[in-house]
Amino acid sequence: MASIQFLGAAGTVTGSRHLLEHEGKRILLDCGLFQGEKAWRRRNWDPFPVPPSSIDVVVLSHAHIDHSGYLPRLVKEGFTGTIFSTPATRDLLAIMLPDSGRLHEEEARFANKMRYSRHDPALPLYTEEDANRCIPQVHTVRYGMQREIVPGVVLTFHRAGHILGSASAQLDLYGAAGYRHTLVYSGDLGRYGMPIITDPAAIERATTLLVECTYGDRDHLESDPRGELGAVVRDVVERKGVLIIPSFAIGRCQDILYHLRQLQLAGEIPASIPVFVDSPMAIDATPLYLMHREEHDEEMVRLITEGMKPIHPTWVDFTRGVRESQAINDRKGPMIVISASGMASGGRVLHHLKHRLPDPKTTVLFVGYQAQGTRGRKLVEGAQSIRIHGIDVPVRAQIKSIAGFSAHADRSEVHRWLSSIELPPQRTFCVHGEPSALEAMRQRLEANGWAAEVPGYLERFELG
């Protein structure tokens, strides 16, 4: 008999961790960091719910930090098993995890310098060295290939269409007395018809299903995100202001670069406007989007073949060093600064926001989901000041958002993906969503005759 326990992304959109146990083996589906509310972030420092040394393998859906960012800590605390991912995810992890370790170290140093931490001294959750140490444990499995990861468990990855390398994980379980069970974990599902990477792949069968519900209670508004982006850029140019786009370094940053390039080619924004990509991780990740041709959709293939440089605006500066990053704040507009993190929860974008938010000529544009408790959410909801590095920063800048760039499937797109499953699963667990989104998805599934429930944090279920 197998079981599943929800160690994260249960009642929240963060900290994705799901523990599958079968025939005495432990398989951790995703190993993410908690972000957002302080109570959630504190869980990163709590002892892991089971001894890391007792986990046999980790299966990663994709490289985003809320799905992979706890790996260095897990290894540091005793996990010695194999981590399975797609090839593109492994390449991204080799960039993202060391970068995450550096950020933890930088934040600890800055907290000690400014004395705004309750802890003396403030320590990093893990270091760059810790992150580099776990990368050799990552082994790759290509989409559609079957791989026995422990005795009696066969893994198959299917395209999820969320970011480069993202996958839904199918685990076929085999046991005594003819026991057979298919667990499918959706991971983060992407949207249909989006640029650069291919659409989510169909899933034919599942006995137990774990489905993400980030937008489980709503659909994305019908919009023209590229046109909206163009209008924001033209306004910034006219006011000689600065456009700051907090962006995830992986996925969203490349999408924005793609659309800026298309706007320039169409003559809808000036080719002369400087674009600064201020994120070492984004700088390293962007070439990977060109390298992994197996991920590209038909339009991306065509643009590359024709030499159109699809994710390279005319005047773009990839800013790697700290001094280069600081120098951006000495420049006057018009210009565009794309910097991580996407929810303004950390990273270099905080320094730009601290410097530019008091200036009415600044526009801050959010282009993705803003989780509860993050600075991004507070700014979008109209905060008059925001706390950064222990300082209350007044908000006089224009705060805008464009929903159409979201890399998450909305309610209808999730149901389009679910419709590919031939028979309703015996059980469907709604995960990775805020409470209202989770409950809305549960009710909609039940209305369609599916047995669905919303698991609680640390809740455990037997899989019959």
3-state secondary structure 103-172: HHHHHHHHHHHHCCCCCCCCCCCCCHHHHHHHHHHEEECCCCCEEEEECCEEEEEEECCCCCCCEEEEEE
User: Could you tell me if 188 and 61 are in contact, meaning their C-beta atoms sit under 8 angstroms apart?
Assistant: yes
Say if residue 116's pLDDT is above 70: no
User: Could you tell me if 287 and 329 are in contact, meaning their C-beta atoms sit under 8 angstroms apart?
Assistant: no
What is the pLDDT averaged over residues 419-427? 95
Radius of gyration for the alpha carbons in the chain, expressed in angstroms and rounded: 22
CB atoms within 10 A of CB 129: 12
User: What is the reported pLDDT for 446?
Assistant: 96
* Of 225, 228, 324, 347, residue with least CA distance to 276: 324
CA–CA gap between residue 344 and residue 359 (Å, rounded): 18
User: What is the reported pLDDT for 250?
Assistant: 83
Say if residue 117's pLDDT is above 90: no
Query: How much of the chain, in percent, has pLDDT values that exceed 90?
Result: 74
Kindly report whether the peptide bond that precedes residue 345 is cis, defined as omega within 30 degrees of 0: no
Residue 42 is which amino acid?
Answer: R
What is the rounded average pLDDT for all residues in the chain?
A: 93
SS3 268: coil
Q: What band does 118 get if pLDDT is binned at 50, 70 and 90?
A: low
User: What is the reported pLDDT for 213?
Assistant: 97
CA–CA gap between residue 346 and residue 351 (Å, rounded): 9
Q: What band does 34 get if pLDDT is binned at 50, 70 and 90?
A: very high
CA–CA gap between residue 45 and residue 41 (Å, rounded): 8
More confident residue, 392 or 250: 392
Q: How many CA atoms lie within 13 A of 452 on its CB side?
A: 21
Q: How many CA atoms lie within 13 A of 139 on its CB side?
A: 11
Angle at the Cα of 285 from the Cα atoms of 414 and 372, rounded to 5 degrees: 45
More confident residue, 409 or 99: 409
CA–CA gap between residue 332 and residue 300 (Å, rounded): 34
What is the pLDDT averaged over residues 390-418? 92
Least confident of 105-109, 139-143, 446-450: 105-109
And the tokens for 45?
Answer: 């420092």
CA 457 to chain centre: 20
Torsion of CA 420, 424, 428, 430, to 10 degrees: 50
β pairing state of 385-388 and 391-394: antiparallel
* Of 191, 137, 197, 143, residue with least CA distance to 169: 143
Q: What is this structure's pTM?
A: 0.86
User: What is the reported pLDDT for 30?
Assistant: 98
Say if residue 236's pLDDT is above 90: yes
What is the pLDDT averaged over residues 329-335? 93
User: Could you tell me if 292 and 87 are in contact, meaning their C-beta atoms sit under 8 angstroms apart?
Assistant: yes
More confident residue, 289 or 154: 154
Phi-psi region of 417 (alpha: psi -120 to 50; beta: other; left: phi over 0): alpha
CA 182 to chain centre: 26
β pairing state of 153-159 and 167-174: antiparallel
Quick: pLDDT tens for 77-98: 999 999 999 999 999 999 999 9
The H or E element containing residue 316 is strand 316-318
Query: How much of the chain, in percent, has pLDDT values that exceed 70?
Result: 99
Domains of the chain and CATH, by start: 2-218+407-463 (3.60.15.10), 225-405 (3.40.50.10890)
User: What is the reported pLDDT for 274?
Assistant: 95
Q: What is the largest CA-CA distance in the chain?
A: 72
User: What is the reported pLDDT for 4?
Assistant: 98
SS3 293: helix
CA–CA gap between residue 429 and residue 48 (Å, rounded): 22
What is the pLDDT averaged over residues 192-216? 94
Least confident of 84-88, 190-194, 207-211: 190-194
SS3 371: coil
Say if residue 119's pLDDT is above 70: no
Quick: pLDDT tens for 251-291: 889 999 999 999 999 999 999 999 999 988 888 888 898 88
